[in-house]
Amino acid sequence: MFRRSESCSTVSIILPPEMMLRVAELLSRRDGATGLLWRARGTIVHEHWLKAWLPPISPSKSMLQLIIPDSEVAPFVREVVELTNLDHQALGAVFSVRSERAFFGPDFPQWPTRAEALNASPPPALKENLHALHCVVSHKLIDRVCKAAIDAGAHGPIVAFAEGRGLRDRLGWLRITKEHEKEVATVLCDDDARDAVFSAIADAGNLHLPGRGFLYDSVVERGLFNLPSRAAPRHHDASLQQIVAAIDKLQGHTHWRDHSIVPVGSQGQAVGLERATRATSELTQYRLAATVLSEQAPALIDLLLDSGAPGLTLSRARLVGADDDAFYGETHLARECTMIQVIATEAVVAALAAAVEDYGEQQGITHLCVALTPVTQVVTYQPGRINYRRAR
Amino acid sequence: MDSARLRLGPRDTFRILWPYTRGKFTEQLSSIWFIVAYLTAFQLFVLGLPIVHAGMIAAGILVVAVGLMFFMEGLRLGLMPLGEIIGRTLPERSRLPTILGFAFLLGIGATFAEPAIAVLKAAGSGVQPAEAPLLYSLLNEFSQELVGSVGVGVGLAVLLGVLRFFFDWPLKWLALPSVSIVLVLSVVYAQSPALNDVLGLAWDCGAVTTGPVTVPLVLALGIGVCRVVTNSPGGTSSGFGIVTLASLFPILAVLLLAGYHFQAQDFYGAPNYAGRTIAPAAQAQPGRSAVAVTEHGFSKTDFDRFRATGELPKGATLSVSGGDAQLVDGRIVVTQPEITIGKRLRDAAPWVTGNSWDSRLSIADSLRSAGLDALRAIVPLCVFLLLVLYGLLRTRLDQATDVAVGLGFALVGMALFSLGIALGLTPLGGQLVGNVPLAFAAGTPWGLTATTGPLFDPDSGKLVAIAFAFFLGYGATLAEPALNALGDTVERITVGAFRKRLLMQSVAFGVGLGIAAGIIKMAYGLPLLTLLLPAYGVVLVLTLLAPSNFVNFSWDSAGVTTGPITVPLVLAMGLGIGGSLPSVSDGFGILALASVGPILSVLTVGLYTNRSVRREAQEASGGSAYLTTERS
């Protein structure tokens, strides 16, 4: 009953909302093309003293995620980039992450594959050495995390809302004491800057402590981004080369440049990385993302928690695409989907995926999509690894 | 889910509950500390007067914090999820007429539940039938009609607001015509003396209908509807705007009601009046006694002694007018003068009471009435919502226990909150705002026996009162629960792009400005419209300029500012200052000004930041060095 696929990619598009309308229109013109749409915000660090003191107003963004067969990724991304001018001036990003396995319910719309192969080459501006870091923390921590990422050289992270589940559901009525609102920051970075950004985020969020949050990294197949991180007054606007030269002069040497580019996992350990690596899991981890209609989500959440998921991240998105129900003329009734994400070791994720598949067939949950993506590095509190109370 | 449930002993339960409770409590303390510290400091240091009933006030403020803690948690867990799930399922499961019927009933129900309506009626009880006959009749004989028309106004507003989501009408094109109609009607009414008196009441009705229960509920409903309803594929609608309409339509409703009775000529003293005309002397004047000047003259015995002996009584002042003054041998000689002998006001003000507790106020009674208010405000609404949810929509709640706990919290919180206000904030604010007129007029300080003179000369005294009003408005607004809820909603809908803190600070600043303007109006005897019209004029221009998402929530923030903390303080201050100034008949109208202020301030902040964010984005994408290296 379920359709399987071993060659799928998740394409994420981040754009200003008014720009995203064009992409949504593109989708609605093509039968079967659907995506999940989130609202999100960008992050800009203000350096003017008055604006730095005021609470920030961040640029609003939309985030669209689509699951596309590998063969269709390049033409579609090319189409989006050309439509939105992403490689020239639009502020946004597009990137694709390859999933290892995916299966779809019979009602989940199938991406239309075209008979004739279009110009299959990806647009020239795409880079192939990118990483996507996702950090799930509570909203009290998110500003610190974003600031740390920017200070470590990343672009302004894109932040969207999510809901955390897991421990909360095992507490009975006491669960009211645990706020489930979380925020997810998405950061794209080149692989030479990745380690610095990764450890900066892990340290800023103290993610090795219990109940703090989650950080994981997945390898981007191809992508491009153009997202500002800082708004500085004119007279601070020095070029990167000028800044580097100034620091060289102040330090009197160029050793300082080495600190941030030390690879993790090998013999070398850079400053500030020690804690992050200790909490990092060595086992291969997978990310399972199950997408269902929101009204069917509660049952699936219970199922996943019962089958041994350590914790869930839920995010609600609007389904956009051709199968919107029209309602009262111009007005659309959008369908809302919930994306449930679990990150766990390969064995656990495989068991969960099997459970979801069984459950979906038994209960007739037909609008379902499950994708498994390998995750290269994870930072979170791991119970039993170190007793954090005694260690202090 | 239950199989994996953890077993917790009492110790673990405490260890989970304690940080939660402590966190929530300090959060609420941080929202009310400013207004409390400010009121106390002003009374002690600027006016130099002691705080009467200090013990009771301290206990009351503690209770307010506890009540707010429960109430806000109740909103987060119970009321708002309930409203959101109904808003989300309603468009899917029922047809448009049903949805509109629900919206209308919800508006009416919410109005009857709103406790502040009762405050308004109490505030109007001091109205003199001879001075303001139509206003008097509306608040007394026609009070049922008054509440009814406000209810219908709010009902229509919720209906239109929901309809707006479906057809994607910009809020500008609903709010601006409504405001214009209301303003034009106000200008017309201002020409007739009887109708002019009603203006203040009408504007305040609009401000008062949107309270701590209605606003979060209606906001959550909007969020829910907008989660499913869109106008274009991929487009987003915001979920705001109902609150705006719900504060405009009642004004219109009250104005129309007043116009109807004016046409029918059946109000107090008019030809068709059905009730009994009461002699003006029989009317009591509550509310003004607190600041009435009681001992400013000589008694009969003083006068008799003066006539017998020709000796001036102790502490007398002389003033001379008229006559012909000449300087003769270093003395001023006045021929045929008119001499007035007055009594000098004593400066020292002894305590009337050393009690730290007001004996007239019994805790049991206050608790009972607060509890009843809370029941009335929350239970019927929740019953209605649950009926709709289970009966009409046949949906199950995802986490029903959370919602149940939340509704319980909301009930307890509301009761404690109003108890705390009655014990703590109202007495503190009442004494203080009663004392503020002392800055520029003579009077008896609240709860003290002696009279004390103007503390400052008239002009700077009025300035002190105006400055006081600004910070009072600012502090009280920051403590308003409805504004907190709006801040959370704005942050949620914009996904954190517009922060709660920024919204709350700019709204509080705007309310402060509005209330200060209200005091200027009273202190200098300006008509309400001379301030309202220009303010709304600027608002109209800004609204046309601003992007629509800012328009939506800045107009909504106008509606939420006037809640259970602000309204009693502001009305008491209006009555206090009104009582000490001969030219002012009532304290109405300040709330209306307090509603324009935040629209102005939030729109300004929105326009400014929108422009600068856009410019920075352009600059950043244009020639900045790091971006080009990023994209290589």
CA distances from B192 to B5, B121, B203 (A): 70, 23, 17
Least confident of A244-248, B325-329, B450-454: B450-454
Mean pLDDT of the B103-124 span: 74
For residue B581, how many other CB atoms are within 10 A of its CB? 16
pLDDT tens, position by position, B154-183:
999 999 988 888 877 888 888 888 888 988
CA distances from A170 to A165, A356, B203, B340 (A): 9, 20, 51, 83
Nearest alpha-carbon partner for B494 in B134, B240, B155: B240
Predicted local confidence at residue B445, as pLDDT? 61
Please tell me if residue B383 touches chain A, with a CB cutoff of 8 Å: no
Predicted local confidence at residue B614, as pLDDT? 66
Spatial contact of A236 and A183, defined as CB atoms under 8 Å apart? no
Higher-scoring residue by pLDDT: B378, B361:
B378
B:483-542 residues touching chain A, CB 8 A cutoff: 492-499, 501-502, 505
Mean pLDDT of the B443-472 span: 72
Mean pLDDT of the A98-119 span: 77
Taking contacts as CB-CB distances below 8 angstroms, the residues of chain A near B232 are: 21, 24, 330, 332
Taking contacts as CB-CB distances below 8 angstroms, the residues of chain A near B619 are: 231
Whether the predicted pLDDT of B583 surpasses 70: no
Spatial contact of A118 and A249, defined as CB atoms under 8 Å apart? no
CA-CA-CA-CA dihedral for B163, B168, B171, B176, to nearest 10 = -90
Spatial contact of B259 and B171, defined as CB atoms under 8 Å apart? no
CB contact under 8 A, A60 and B495: yes
Spatial contact of B456 and B440, defined as CB atoms under 8 Å apart? yes
Q: CA–CA separation, A288 vs A281, rounded Å? A: 17
Structure tokens at B367: 């608790």
Shortest CB distance from A60 goes to which of B20, B228, B497? Answer: B497
CB contact under 8 A, B17 and A91: no
Q: CA–CA separation, A382 vs A213, rounded Å? A: 11
Whether the predicted pLDDT of B206 surpasses 90: no
The pTM for the full model equals 0.79
Higher-scoring residue by pLDDT: B339, A274:
B339
Whether the predicted pLDDT of B287 surpasses 70: no
Predicted local confidence at residue B8, as pLDDT? 76
Q: What is the CA radius of gyration of chain A?
A: 21
Mean pLDDT of the A23-33 span: 81
Q: What's the pLDDT band for B280 if we cut at 50, 70, 90?
A: very low
Predicted local confidence at residue B438, as pLDDT? 73
Higher-scoring residue by pLDDT: A260, B318:
B318
CA angle B53, B59, B60 (to 5 degrees): 85
Higher-scoring residue by pLDDT: A172, B23:
B23
Nearest alpha-carbon partner for B139 in B268, B330, B246, B41: B268
Whether the predicted pLDDT of A346 surpasses 80: yes
Chain B: residue nearest A242 by CA?
B625
Shortest CB distance from B234 goes to which of A21, A231, A306? Answer: A21
Taking contacts as CB-CB distances below 8 angstroms, the residues of chain A near B99 are: none
Whether the predicted pLDDT of A261 surpasses 70: no
Please tell me if residue B609 touches chain A, with a CB cutoff of 8 Å: yes
What distance in Å separates residue B94's CA from the closest CA in chain A?
12
How far the first Cα of chain B sits from its last, in Å, is 50
The HSE-up count of residue B375 (CA atoms within 13 Å, CB side) is 6
Q: What's the pLDDT band for A212 if we cut at 50, 70, 90?
A: confident
Mean pLDDT of the A51-75 span: 84
Predicted local confidence at residue B617, as pLDDT? 59
Q: What's the pLDDT band for A389 if we cut at 50, 70, 90?
A: very low
The HSE-up count of residue B554 (CA atoms within 13 Å, CB side) is 28
Q: CA–CA separation, B317 vs B345, rounded Å? A: 10
Whether the predicted pLDDT of B582 surpasses 60: no
Higher-scoring residue by pLDDT: A67, B586:
A67
Coil/strand/helix, residue A96: strand
B:558-587 residues touching chain A, CB 8 A cutoff: none
- The secondary structure of B72-101 as a DSSP string is HHHIIIIIHHHHHHHHHHHHHHS-HHHHHH
Predicted local confidence at residue B348, as pLDDT? 40
Q: What's the pLDDT band for B396 if we cut at 50, 70, 90?
A: confident
Predicted local confidence at residue B232, as pLDDT? 57
Q: CA–CA separation, B299 vs B303, rounded Å? A: 6
Predicted local confidence at residue A339, as pLDDT? 93
Q: What's the pLDDT band for B587 if we cut at 50, 70, 90?
A: low
Higher-scoring residue by pLDDT: A239, B463:
B463
In the block, residue with structure tokens 């609404």: B381
Which residues are paired to A182 by β-bridges?
A138, A162
Whether the predicted pLDDT of A260 surpasses 60: no
CB contact under 8 A, B630 and A225: yes
pLDDT tens, position by position, B473-531:
899 899 888 888 889 888 888 888 888 888 999 999 999 999 898 888 877 777 777 88
Higher-scoring residue by pLDDT: B193, B69:
B69
What distance in Å separates residue B192's CA from the closest CA in chain A?
46
- B66 φψ region: left (φ > 0), alpha (ψ -120 to 50), beta (else): alpha
Q: What's the pLDDT band for B629 if we cut at 50, 70, 90?
A: very low
Predicted local confidence at residue B581, as pLDDT? 61
Spatial contact of B582 and B499, defined as CB atoms under 8 Å apart? no
Predicted local confidence at residue B531, as pLDDT? 84
Least confident of B139-153, B411-425, B439-453: B439-453
Predicted local confidence at residue A386, as pLDDT? 45
Whether the predicted pLDDT of B57 surpasses 60: yes
Which residues are paired to B326 by β-bridges?
B333
Q: CA–CA separation, A263 vs A192, rounded Å? A: 9
Whether the predicted pLDDT of B560 surpasses 70: yes
For residue A363, how many other CB atoms are within 10 A of its CB? 13
Q: CA–CA separation, B460 vs B458, rounded Å? A: 6
Taking contacts as CB-CB distances below 8 angstroms, the residues of chain A near B624 are: 228, 237
Structure tokens at A358: 């069984």
Length of chain A: 392
Spatial contact of A2 and A360, defined as CB atoms under 8 Å apart? yes
Q: What angle separates helix B214-228 from helix B548-560, to the nearest 10 degrees?
A: 160
For residue B61, how many other CB atoms are within 10 A of its CB? 23
Q: CA–CA separation, B53 vs B243, rounded Å? A: 38
Percentage, residues of chain A above pLDDT 90: 16
Higher-scoring residue by pLDDT: A169, B406:
B406
Whether the predicted pLDDT of A244 surpasses 70: yes
